[in-house]
Amino acid sequence: MKGPIVTDKKSVSRELPVPSGRLTRLARFGGLASGIAGRAAIQGARNIAQGKRPAAKELLLTPANARRMAEQLAQMRGAAMKVGQLISMDAGDMLPPELADIMGRLRADAHYMPGGQLKKVLNANWGENWLKRFEKFNARPIAAASIGQVHRARTKDGHDLAIKVQYPGVRKSIDSDVNNVASLMRLSGALPKSLDIAPMLDEAKRQLHEEADYERESRYLTRFATLLRDDPSLAVPDLHENLTTTDVLAMTYLDGMPVDSLTSAPQQERDRVTELLIDLLFRELFEFRLMQTDPNFANYRYDPHTGRIILLDFGASREFTPQTVTAFRRLMAAGLARDRAAIRNAIVDIGFFDEHTKNHNQEAIIDMFELSMTPLHRPGKFDFAETDIALRMRDAAMKLGADRDFWHIPPMETLFMQRKFGGIYLLATRLKARVDLRALLEKNLTHAWTAR
């Protein structure tokens, strides 16, 4: 690249081309699958020679195989890496902790495109003379993720921008990547053969096609900016429509620090930030019926000068039907009232289980929900630093997951909602925040009822 380009010394990861061809990506999956199977065969032979007869899952689902899978998916990026991220979050309770930790690395920064590959993408979207529009354009990205990477730039008319550029070939490879990752998970033993994941795969493909459409994301960016316009505590970047395409999203650059870096901030500041994010979560569900469902901590930045939380990345935004919101409102109200019968009815309406689910599994799910409501039954502020609820929820989920009588996938929109709730809970725990959760929920439930 020639022209007003700046290259930062700081690197988010290492430069690595994105394999964009269908056959190239297929070959990567094939090599990964054969490698997993080969190592399992070698280890199996060793165990047999030692008089051991391990189960196939013990040979396939190993830290070495999980590490290799995570590394390969991170190099491929695109839907392959994104599905790995989703599995590491949504199926994490089904994996041993050390394997969940390895797969969880997929949620860290990805590798980034070399300059030549970046230039081809921008030439295709902006024309070959696009550099003339900028005073400077940082070739080294300030962030890299599964579907795209973000560059900082300044236009000739003085706008400081953050420009998200999609990796080449992402949309074309989504369906095949999702299928291939699912096959790998089957092979590795991470997913039970009896679980019908077809609905989840179909929804993953649909979601990824939506996330890969930056024009769609730009519309949700604008909607959230409008919804939160009068909130001085939250900030959403302005869209720069003239530079936005299906593969490129341009927005105002808002400076801030990672929100999870506030671990050493004063308690009052950590509490305030966490309270704002939890309140926003409830507003998204009950007031907006529109939620940004990606719980990645990188989607939140904090401006210490203004105290504002900066909201980023609206590709995973999902709208909820009035029926779904009403059912969740009833569920939360029943949970606050500790009305077990009403909880069960709301859970059935939402679809977490149905009338055919065995009684002991119904009771287990209701128990898990009541456990999740424990922080809302305590008077005053709940201390996220002094609780083992997350571990108890994990143990309960793993126990339920081990019951082959219960392999039930709830409606997809509820899974994405659960991801967001879980992500905010993890952030609150990391910040060791103290928040009056019951007061926040009651406020939003009351607003939801009066707004009907």
Residues with catalytic roles: 294
Q: What secondary structure, in 3-state letters, does the chain show?
A: CCCCEECCCCCCCCECCCCCCHHHHHHHHHHHHHHHHHHHHHHHHHHHHCCCCCCHHHHHCCHHHHHHHHHHHHHHCHHHHHHHHHHHHHCHHHCCHHHHHHHHHHHCCCCECCHHHHHHHHHHHHCCCHHHHEEEEECCCCEECCCEEEEEEEECCCCEEEEEEECCCHHHHHHHHHHHHHHHHHHHCCCCCCCCCHHHHHHHHHHHHHHCCHHHHHHHHHHHHHHCCCCCCEECCCECHHHCCCCEEEEECCCCEEHHHHHHCCHHHHHHHHHHHHHHHHHHHHHHCEEECCCCHHHEEEECCCCEEEECCCCCEEECCHHHHHHHHHHHHHHHHCCHHHHHHHHHHHCCCCCCCCHHHHHHHHHHHHHHCHHHHCCCCEECCCCCHHHHHHHHHHHHHCCCCCCCCCCHHHHHHHHHHHHHHHHHHHCCCEECHHHHHHHHHHHHHHCC
Residues 6 or more apart whose Cβ sits within 8 Å of residue 128: none
Measured between alpha carbons, how far is 442 from 425 in angstroms, rounded to an integer?
18
